[in-house]
């Protein structure tokens, strides 16, 4: 098994969380990269950390990993205070950076053994761990390949292997699937679930919203603030009865017209389908009349109007758009 089974009973109360922050903040000069972050990630879960570029995701991860000193607030990671127990956090957590950060001139095995050694894993224990992790991630075939010669998906898997060398209870992954083809992404997620079942908590940032749907819980960052957190289904519920679909030939004109309608928060184009987001829950059949009318007036008549199941992408775009107009 990859990962260590939790020893849960040992610490109780608030320490049950994998990550628990309160008012966590980081300023860079006059820029509030992260402000007043109150985030709670339960143990044994995959937590998806979402948000547009520059929202403060990487800054948050770096603070939680001890790479960056917070300028305000507090946080507990794997039950340890990030200011006082840095050493303990480092042993309990793994970090897989956004950019490939292994040694390209070392082989996969040498990279793995190096990071193992740094965590004090050597000799027979290192051999055992190598067999275990490499077979789990199915990278035995690249043991003697120099890391720099690997393609994207293999690199990511090797990076994951190195982040797992010390059996962390909590793993931070910053964009683990960026630039990786869909089948390799699929593999990566299989590994992450396997890890999670083994008892490891995972904290994952991603740009792929279909991946976010697979997380047990997600948080949205925007402009350095956490604007929503909860299970994807719960968050999607917020959009229930607010999303209406419309099929149309002339999508650009129709979009422009519908966006001007009062009560409409946003319209996004998906091929010949428009996804119309209302500011408040509406009865789609009642709304259909107004939509038809406005589109007709713009010379882009709608073929049909129907209710839509909200996705995280709708939510995300809704938040991001709201932020952009507010800013």
Residues near another protein (CB under 8 A): 62, 65-69, 87, 90-91, 93-95, 97, 99-104, 115, 118-120, 162
Least Å distance between CB 138 and another protein?
22
Rounded (10°) angle between helices 182-197 and 152-163: 20
Cβ-based nearer residue to another protein, 98 or 268: 98
Least Å distance between CB 184 and another protein?
21
Asked if residue 113 lies in contact with residue 126, where contact means CB atoms within 8 angstroms, the answer is yes
Cβ-based nearer residue to another protein, 24 or 65: 65
Instruction: Tell the burial category of 268 from Cβ atoms under 10 Å away from its Cβ (0-12, 13-18, 19+).
Output: middle
Pairwise CA distance, residues 47 & 203, whole Å: 5
Cβ-based nearer residue to another protein, 9 or 99: 99
Give 107's DSSP letter: B
Question: Which pair of structure tokens corresponds to residue 63?
Answer: 């603070």
Least Å distance between CB 102 and another protein?
7
Cβ-based nearer residue to another protein, 171 or 288: 171
Cβ-based nearer residue to another protein, 118 or 252: 118
Cβ-based nearer residue to another protein, 170 or 215: 170
Pairwise CA distance, residues 6 & 15, whole Å: 13
Least Å distance between CB 97 and another protein?
6
Pairwise CA distance, residues 14 & 35, whole Å: 22
Q: Which residues of 48-82 are buried (b: 16+ CB within 10 A; e: fewer)?
A: bbbbbeebbbbbbbbbbbbebebeebebbbbbbeb
Cβ-based nearer residue to another protein, 86 or 259: 86
Select from 44, 54, 95 the least CA-distant residue to 217: 44
Least Å distance between CB 56 and another protein?
16
Helices (H) and strands (E) in the chain — how many of each?
A: 11, 15
Least Å distance between CB 33 and another protein?
12
Least Å distance between CB 132 and another protein?
20
């Amino acid at each position: 098994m990859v990962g260590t089974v939790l020893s849960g009973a040992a610490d109780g109360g608030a320490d049950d969380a994998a990550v628990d922050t309160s008012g966590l903040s980081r300023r860079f000069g006059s820029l509030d990269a992260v402000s007043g972050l109150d985030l709670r990630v339960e143990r044994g879960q995959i937590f998806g950390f979402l948000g547009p570029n520059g929202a403060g995701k990487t800054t948050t991860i770096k603070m939680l990993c001890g790479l960056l000193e917070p300028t305000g607030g507090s946080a507990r990671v794997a039950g340890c205070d990030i200011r006082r127990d840095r050493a303990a956090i480092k042993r309990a957590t793994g970090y897989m950076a956004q950019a490939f950060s292994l040694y390209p001139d070392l082989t996969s095995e040498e990279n793995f053994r190096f990071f193992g050694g740094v965590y004090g894993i050597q000799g027979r224990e290192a051999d055992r761990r190598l067999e275990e992790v490499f077979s789990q991630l199915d990278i035995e075939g690249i043991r003697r390949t120099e890391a720099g010669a690997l393609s994207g998906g293999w690199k990511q898997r090797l990076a994951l292997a190195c982040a797992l060398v010390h059996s962390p209870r909590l793993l931070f992954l910053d964009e683990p699937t960026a630039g990786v083809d869909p089948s390799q992404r699929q593999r990566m997620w299989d590994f992450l679930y396997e890890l999670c079942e083994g008892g490891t908590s995972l904290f994952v940032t991603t740009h792929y919203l279909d991946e976010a749907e697979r997380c047990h819980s997600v948080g949205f960052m925007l402009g350095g603030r956490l604007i929503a957190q909860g299970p994807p289904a719960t968050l999607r519920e917020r959009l229930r009865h607010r999303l209406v679909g419309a099929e149309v030939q002339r999508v650009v004109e129709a979009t422009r017209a519908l966006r001007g309608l009062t009560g409409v928060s946003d319209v996004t184009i998906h091929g010949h389908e428009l996804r119309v987001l209302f500011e408040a829950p509406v009865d789609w059949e009642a709304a259909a009349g107004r939509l038809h009318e406005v589109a007709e007036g713009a010379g882009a008549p709608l073929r049909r109007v129907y209710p839509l199941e909200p996705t995280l992408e709708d939510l995300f775009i809704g938040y991001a758009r709201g932020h952009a107009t507010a800013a």
